[in-house]
Amino acid sequence: MNTFNGLKPEAIWNYFEEICQVARPSKKEEKMIQFLLEFGKKNNLETKRDEAGNVLIKKPATRGKENLKPIILQSHIDMVCEKNSDVVFDFEKDAIQPFIDGDWVKAKGTTLGADDGIGIAAEMAILTANNIEHGPIECLFTVDEETGLSGAFALKKGFFDSKILLNLDSEDEGELFIGCAGGIDTVAYFQYNTQKVPADHCAVKIQVSGLKGGHSGDDIEKGLGNSNKILNRFIWNSTYKFNAKISTIDGGNLRNAIAREAYAILTLPKENKDKFTEYVRYFEKDVKFELSHTEPGLKFSYEEVSLPSFLIDDATQKNLINAVYACPHGVIAMSRSMPGLVETSSNLASIKFKDDKIIVTTSQRSSVNSSKRDIANMVESVFLLAGAAVEHSEGYPGWTPNTNSEILNIAKISYKKLFGIEPNVRAIHAGLECGLFLEKYPDLDMVSFGPTLRGVHSPDEKINIPSVQKFWDLLLEILNNIPIK
């Protein structure tokens, strides 16, 4: 403990360090739920949880502030669990190991969980503060934001009372968010048969690593490499040039993260081995040149391995690599109403072998609901043409910007008063739970803000230390300016 000794604001960093000790993978947040329930009880605060696991903790107004409008602070308690391939770590048991690197806090080989652990910490600091004046406060902690928004989906009318919501799940200090994209997942399933490895073949392992990865919404416009796309491109060429055959592919992990590592076990005729080895170097040179500005750490490795026990059948191999090659990934359209905002995108998230199926997971986002469905249908059509079965998730709605928002105006005035400049007001291409909240609570007035985070959803995740103080100051100033009922 005491990793953050001396950092300000002290309360937030102390609570964030406690949070780092509590395992909280998406859909497995029971330890964190219990942590919050015990926290509420310990501090004599009204605390409850719903059937989904969402936790609500209430704090009465300070004396003389009882007539202010009640306000709810909200963050999600789960975290994206990504690690470097050479790191041994169990996200269901092990504590995150944060460390300070200059003006940043990072984690050793894993995601840090500042998304959205820093929001949780801020709420806990507000709930225990005895030197802050405020009106009635509710703090909502939702489950499973990262892999399905199921906590927000399950939230029932009447669970909280406030009509003003501060979402503490944004990643750019100095920016106020008033809208977000909706999303949907599209998953393809290939059935395959096995076939024997030809006696005259040798086996190789091809691996793509060293990519930055990142958030499939926030980082999709940065032109980052996708390990699934890079690896499949190599395999596609190798099948035609060297009669390469696939035994297995494993690429990417999470639907909301850009794939950063992938590997495949291939076989090829021994007589083609030398030319194949030469092509590996040629391909690596090309891809490194193409991505030299965005992915300087790209690694493309090759090693000989023992012959695998089987290969997938030729027809499935052909369908799979053609479909993955054709599957769209990246920005599909930019917004015409809000310059600089990605409107629609698709992420080729993962390729996995499971039992007798090959599962390709993709996710689509758009701030326009019809465009979200359109790009999901486009992805579906690619895989249907390749003979795969396709399923879509239920999806989640976007959050339509309200430029006349009362809480937005309060946040803008508060920021200008504190820091002497106007904050940027924008929408975000990532998904936030706000759209789902509006379905249950249509009168909610909302704004989202937070400190500066970078590399979220990857082991490069980091949080900027000075921005946390500014985030905290803004939160307090907003609470100080909530109007009367």
Distance CA 67, CA 118 (A): 29
3-class DSSP assignment, residue 172: coil
Q: Sign of the CA dihedral 10, 14, 20, 22?
A: negative
Contact 92, 110 (CB under 8 A): no
Phi/psi for 366 (5° steps) reads: -165, 145
At a CB cut-off of 8 Å and minimum separation 6, what does 448 contact? 166, 167, 168, 169, 170, 176, 177, 178, 180, 428, 432, 434
Establish whether 123 is a catalytic residue.
Answer: no
Going from the C-alpha of 262 to that of each of 231, 232, 287, 349, the distances in angstroms are: 7, 10, 15, 11
At a CB cut-off of 8 Å and minimum separation 6, what does 452 contact? 171, 172, 173, 463, 464, 467
Q: What is the largest CA-CA distance in the chain?
A: 85
The burial class, CB within 10 Å (0-12 / 13-18 / 19+), for 93 is: exposed
Q: Please state, as a whole number, how many other Cβ atoms lie within 10 Å of the Cβ of residue 284.
A: 18
Phi/psi for 231 (5° steps) reads: -65, -45
3-class DSSP assignment, residue 360: strand
Distance CA 43, CA 395 (A): 37
Amino acid in the structure at residue 24: R
Identified catalytic residue from 17, 29, 144, 145:
145
Phi/psi for 168 (5° steps) reads: -100, 50
Establish whether 38 is a catalytic residue.
Answer: no
Contact 146, 78 (CB under 8 A): yes
> Structure tokens of 374?
């359109």
Q: Annotated catalytic sites, by residue?
A: 78, 145
